[in-house]
């Protein structure tokens, strides 16, 4: 460790994701391990502006590793998008003695961190916390694995009830721009159809495909739809369209919503969070800044924040093929 | 046991509910225990008409006690509503040697059973299987306890994400005519507002109440809405109305849908199913007919089928009061 | 309400059980509802002696309804068993302005409460919090339903692996003096044998019964054993004995231990806790003292503390019979 | 695809692991996708010897993706270890028209496959199904992720009850030769101490470390012990030793046992199983033989069976360090 910070801050920003608390715990305890003080910043960048800080010790993060949500709370800050807002934040930071910052969040949170770094030359390190798994530079984001289990668990229950004939179940899952959750949870849940933003299936192909499923002997089908899918305007419109073309079916809709962002994190997410928290603090102590901690090939890896923000993740085409084959 | 049936049939009918398989298992094994053969009838009354029967032994119900859905499948039968349909069913029944019938289902299924009993003097015994807990003559229906846990588990996850300020979460749960699920799961989940068909809250009182919650220091609120609630036309319209009146809020909607009908049954539902299955078969063997097995004061009790069908369950007003107090 | 207390205290005492936090929340909020202050007492009677109190408001019990354990912590207190200890406690109580006490716990905790009531004429109300369901005067204790689900969930997983032949699984569950958990969870999990303290099965009858199961075509069997069962000295000795007599079997042992005392409470336990918390405070406000709140026939009911402590709960013999029949 | 098999067999062998059914489903459906017949082989190699085969179609694997255990059952076969046994198996295989074999299992199962391949030049492909994650050539084995969640979920419940002071919880988890489960689940559960076969901690260092934890302000501690840990003879002996040295503590033991091998597979394990099943069949169709399908850097990869069997997986030393830091 070639840097000797006295105080490091940690915040969560943007939408919650399971594992954020485990990451906070790891940041706080890694600081303590290296005799660095740790300041918890409440409500993200807004709390940075308002100086809403609290010193955190290893004992203040007892028993949070398994909690969903974030003990530091989260918020959007319009003010931090202004130069004045960021100046206020910097003054708070200086006043507190904070010398570096760990930001747990997604794209928007990292952009905020980069700007703050540029304007004040303030060391910043990102940890990708979002269920969408849409951050470049890491194979897995914090909370994604948990969200997949939540979706699969919900669809398992729905499938239990598919013992009547001629039932279609439409399940809307999160993913405005990316279909990672829909595709992976869809495969995991054995969904017959998976509609994602990256692929424009079209309503008619959906109907055709559902009819084919039925011919293949499937008495009921489950369709997983990412929010951002453009096949129908929304899941209820799509349902209506399908019903017009397959009037013999009963169609049922579930909109899972924010339950996907919460819940006890999976072991995978907790271990990932612990590793990322350690890596984030130690990277700062090694003098690195403006990076995001990621996981690549099961090892911790750093990715420059600007790449993480600008880069695009892509749907694995192998998975699309696997989905087609295993739902035959 | 003063009757000596040689063969008893068992079916599931209507919507699925967790615990139906456990009840099937108990019926099958109680038959075996009393040296009576057991015929599984597939797809409810439609299978009765079509003679879709299969002999079931204690081993054919191995490892189903913990499975959601129903291994006998379920279906609606228009044909059974006709005299001809029921005649066909009776012929199938005679041909198979079946001498009595256990029907696991809800109101509609029991009505079918009563008519069949009247027309052909055929012994029928009902087991209340529905998540809605809306059957007169039993304090708990099969699957209700499990559904409550499913709803509460979903809302727990939603609450985790309520760490941002000014968030409202609307969660639609099952209950077209009755609010048992909404009320009990709402209390269990600590929901700030619970909208049920039995009480017309009115949109404006909802808005007022939400504003009051905020004044009391709650940064976010969860509203549980039974499908059958008449406050708004549907949950999305209600959301729009609230947003107009509380524009500073973000409102998020979850429609849990059929996941409430599935899932591994709770221990409570499994034990209840086991007790009811034993009681149903033994009551038939004692010469009883046209009853439903229920639980009253933690003991098995019989209720005439017509009472079960016509009677109304009522919302416990103590619970409404408890809900008001504990969400202060 | 004919009493006008200004301050009521609440504590948890003895072993944890899921639902204690939900009960604390209900007590605190019911106090607030009736404009009574509420003091949280940490670490049970020991905290009473040490004056380890903290004022609790409706907001200080936010988001605890779904948490296992107890935010007030629990402890055993030798000192409270002495007259001097109790005097110190009474002085603390007086100094704090506390005028009545809600004790959430089991037998031992209630005995403490009774003595304190007798010696100082101090109003005490009990809430039965224990997973063992062994308190007279209530059909269900807080945490029992959750513990049953925990055990059943564990055994479901074990049963999944029973796809090999000739496997015996021994699962030790809690219940030193009473077999409620073993019996109900055993039925719920479809256990082939259930050993409880109330029934002395004897090792040899167990072996015979297991051999009979095998003859009946069961390729593997699960045996649930309450800690307090006296068939073998402990589960491992019992395993050895069975292996001597059935050497062709592989026997695997699970000792579930304290996981049964924790976990997110079920909806049933949360609603029960909420009702009991309201009832406890309102009973004190009605001038009642020295009672325990219980549930009887789905209604809240009071039972004198001395009866609750001295009375014995009994195993439901109907359940023993049901278990025999459904595992045929 | 340069091979044109008409019939491929699939079996599960050795200990169960969650995800095996999802892999069977994928194998069966990939065969159908490529117009190849699929034979399910019951009870592993013993079923191969006895010709216990059944043709499987896409519909015969409906609704098994989420089931623990294996629908093909599993068994150990002494007979297959003999030349005669394997000859019988080969004759059955020939008689059935089977031309290639997918073996889902661990080390021992792969060894059997290799020998069969060598002796009869029969195409074999392995899929690593074991919760231990101890197979060389794949970063994750089927069932490992699920087992981690099972362990972490159990320990979360135990931790809930750690609200009393001076409590030690010892939790024995699977892992006779390798500590992957103990180490990862230990980190995920926030265990204060993790004892694994790869590291000889020694009883005295354990005691010291527990005493240090207490000094650091931890009121209770959780110790995760892999079965194969050599610190104590077994977890109960170890408990006794610790109690002698820390008599002020209450120590509680949980032995999780076979619940770790069962349960609904996680989404991760289901997707992995689906990918591996597709890859296994398609690799055979490409003319490959004597390989195991693995996952490396999130991509499917083949590893020669002999390497998979002989190679050793190693504990990630980064994780040991992370564990030390985050439990400070």
- The chain A residue lying nearest D319, using CA atoms, is A275
Contact A69, A16 (CB under 8 A): yes
Cβ partners under 8 Å of residue A247, min gap 6: none
C237 annotated active-site: no
Residue C163 clears pLDDT 70, i.e. is over it: no
Classify the C-alpha dihedral B234-B237-B243-B245 as positive or negative: negative
Contact D15, D261 (CB under 8 A): yes
Contact B254 A257 (CB under 8 A): yes
- Kindly report, residue by residue over C261-275, the tens digit of the pLDDT: 999 999 999 999 999
Q: A169-173, B181-185, B310-314, C280-284: lowest mean pLDDT where?
A: B310-314
The answer on whether D59 is annotated among ligand-binding residues is: no
Contacts of C158 in chain D (CB under 8 A): 257-259, 262
For residue C90, the surrounding DSSP H or E stretch is: helix C83-96
Domains of chain D, CATH where assigned: 7-143+265-310 (3.40.50.450), 146-261 (3.40.50.460)
Phi and psi, residue D285, nearest 5°: -70, -20
Question: To 10 degrees, the CA torsion angle through C178, C179, C180, C186?
Answer: 170
The burial class, CB within 10 Å (0-12 / 13-18 / 19+), for B176 is exposed
Residue positions of D annotated with a catalytic role: 132
Distance of CA B209 to the CA centre of its chain: 31
- Kindly report, residue by residue over B197-250, the tens digit of the pLDDT: 998 888 899 999 999 988 888 888 999 999 987 665 689 999 999 999 999 888
Q: Round to whole Å and give the CA distance between D316 and D323.
A: 11
* Per-residue pLDDT band at C227 (split at 50, 70, 90): very high
- The chain C residue lying nearest D219, using CA atoms, is C73
Contact C157 D258 (CB under 8 A): yes
Contact A267 D145 (CB under 8 A): yes
Task: Give pLDDT, residue D163.
Answer: 66
Q: Within 13 A of B213's CA, how many CA atoms are on the CB side?
A: 26
> Which of the residues B16, B52, B132, B134 is marked catalytic?
B132
Contact A224, A171 (CB under 8 A): yes
- The chain D residue lying nearest A295, using CA atoms, is D297
* Per-residue pLDDT band at C230 (split at 50, 70, 90): low
Task: Give pLDDT, residue C149.
Answer: 98
Task: Give pLDDT, residue C85.
Answer: 98
Reduced DSSP (H G I as helix, E B as strand, rest coil) percent helix, strand, coil of chain D, to 5: 45, 20, 35
Contact B187 C274 (CB under 8 A): yes
- Kindly report, residue by residue over C94-114, the tens digit of the pLDDT: 999 999 999 999 999 999 999
For the segment C4-22, the average pLDDT, to the nearest whole number, is 95
Contacts of A43 in chain B (CB under 8 A): 165
Contact C191, C324 (CB under 8 A): no
Contacts of C43 in chain D (CB under 8 A): 165
Determine which of D144, D271, D278 to mutate to test the interface with A (most A C-beta atoms within 10 Å).
D271
| Beta strand segments in C26-94, E | 37-41, 53-56
Contact D295, D269 (CB under 8 A): no
For residue B54, the surrounding DSSP H or E stretch is: strand B53-56
B288 to chain A, minimum CA–CA distance in Å? Answer: 31
Contact A145 D59 (CB under 8 A): no
Contact A73 B164 (CB under 8 A): yes
Closest by Cα among C175, C177, C167, C126 to C148: C175
* DSSP SS3 for A169: strand
Contact A267 D326 (CB under 8 A): no
The answer on whether C218 is annotated among ligand-binding residues is: yes
> Which of the residues C132, C145, C229, C269 is marked catalytic?
C132
Q: Round to whole Å and give the CA distance between C32 and C28.
A: 6
Q: Round to whole Å and give the CA distance between D327 and C71.
A: 22
| Percent of chain D clearing pLDDT 90 (strictly above) | 86
Task: Give pLDDT, residue C215.
Answer: 87
For the segment C306-327, the average pLDDT, to the nearest whole number, is 94
Q: Round to whole Å and give the CA distance between C21 and C104.
A: 10
Residue C10 clears pLDDT 80, i.e. is over it: yes
Cβ partners under 8 Å of residue B21, min gap 6: B61, B64, B65, B66, B67, B68, B69, B70, B71, B265, B273
* Per-residue pLDDT band at C4 (split at 50, 70, 90): confident
For the segment C43-48, the average pLDDT, to the nearest whole number, is 96
- Kindly report, residue by residue over C242-262, the tens digit of the pLDDT: 999 999 888 999 999 999 999
The answer on whether A295 is annotated among ligand-binding residues is: no
Task: Give pLDDT, residue C82.
Answer: 97
Cβ partners under 8 Å of residue A150, min gap 6: A256, A259, A260, A263, B157
Q: Round to whole Å and give the CA distance between A305 and A302.
A: 9
How many beta carbons lie within 10 A of that of residue A94, not counting itself? 12
Contact A113, A101 (CB under 8 A): yes
- Helix orientation angle between A180-189 and A144-160, rounded to the nearest 10 degrees: 40
Please determine, for the modelled complex, whether the ipTM score is greater than 0.90.
Answer: yes
The answer on whether D28 is annotated among ligand-binding residues is: yes
Task: Give pLDDT, residue D164.
Answer: 67
Q: Round to whole Å and give the CA distance between D160 and D7.
A: 52
Average pLDDT, chain A: 94
Q: Round to whole Å and give the CA distance between A29 and D198.
A: 25
Task: Give pLDDT, residue A76.
Answer: 85
Contact C148, C167 (CB under 8 A): no
Contacts of D263 in chain C (CB under 8 A): 156-157, 160
- Kindly report, residue by residue over D196-254, the tens digit of the pLDDT: 999 888 889 999 999 998 888 888 899 999 998 766 568 999 999 999 999 988 899 99
Determine which of D163, D223, D261 to mutate to test the interface with C (most C C-beta atoms within 10 Å).
D163
For the segment A194-207, the average pLDDT, to the nearest whole number, is 90
The answer on whether A316 is annotated among ligand-binding residues is: no
The burial class, CB within 10 Å (0-12 / 13-18 / 19+), for D266 is buried
Contacts of C253 in chain D (CB under 8 A): 255, 257
């Amino acid at each position: 460790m070639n840097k000797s910070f006295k105080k490091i801050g940690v915040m969560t920003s943007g939408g919650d994701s399971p594992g954020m608390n485990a990451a906070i715990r790891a940041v706080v305890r890694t600081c303590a391990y290296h005799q660095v003080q740790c300041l918890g910043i409440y409500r993200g960048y807004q709390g940075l502006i308002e100086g809403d800080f609290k010193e955190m010790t290893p004992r203040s993060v007892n028993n949070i590793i398994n909690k969903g949500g974030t003990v530091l709370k989260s918020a959007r800050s319009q003010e931090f998008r202004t130069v004045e807002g960021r100046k206020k934040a910097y003054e708070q930071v200086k006043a507190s003695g904070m010398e570096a910052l760990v930001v747990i969040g997604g794209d928007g949170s990292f952009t905020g961190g980069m700007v703050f770094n540029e304007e004040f030359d303030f060391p910043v390190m990102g940890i990708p916390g979002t269920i969408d798994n849409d951050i470049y530079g890491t194979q897995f984001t914090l909370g994604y694995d948990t969200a997949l289990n939540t979706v699969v668990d919900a669809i398992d229950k729905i499938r239990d009830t598919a013992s009547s004939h001629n039932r279609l179940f439409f399940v809307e899952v999160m993913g405005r721009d990316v279909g990672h959750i829909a595709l992976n949870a869809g495969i995991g849940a054995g969904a017959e159809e998976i509609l994602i933003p990256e692929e424009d299936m079209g309503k008619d192909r959906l109907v055709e495909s559902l009819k084919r499923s039925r011919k293949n002997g499937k008495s009921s089908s489950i369709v997983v739809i990412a929010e951002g899918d453009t096949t129908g305007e929304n899941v209820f419109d799509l349902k209506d369209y399908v019903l017009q073309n397959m009037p013999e079916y009963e169609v049922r809709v579930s909109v899972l919503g924010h339950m996907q962002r919460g819940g006890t994190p999976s072991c995978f997410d907790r271990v990932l969070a612990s590793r990322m928290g350690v890596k984030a603090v130690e990277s700062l102590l090694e003098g690195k800044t403006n990076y995001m901690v990621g996981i690549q090939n099961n090892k911790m890896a750093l990715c420059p924040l600007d790449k993480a923000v600008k880069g695009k993740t892509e749907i694995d085409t192998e998975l699309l093929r696997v989905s087609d084959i295993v739902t035959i």
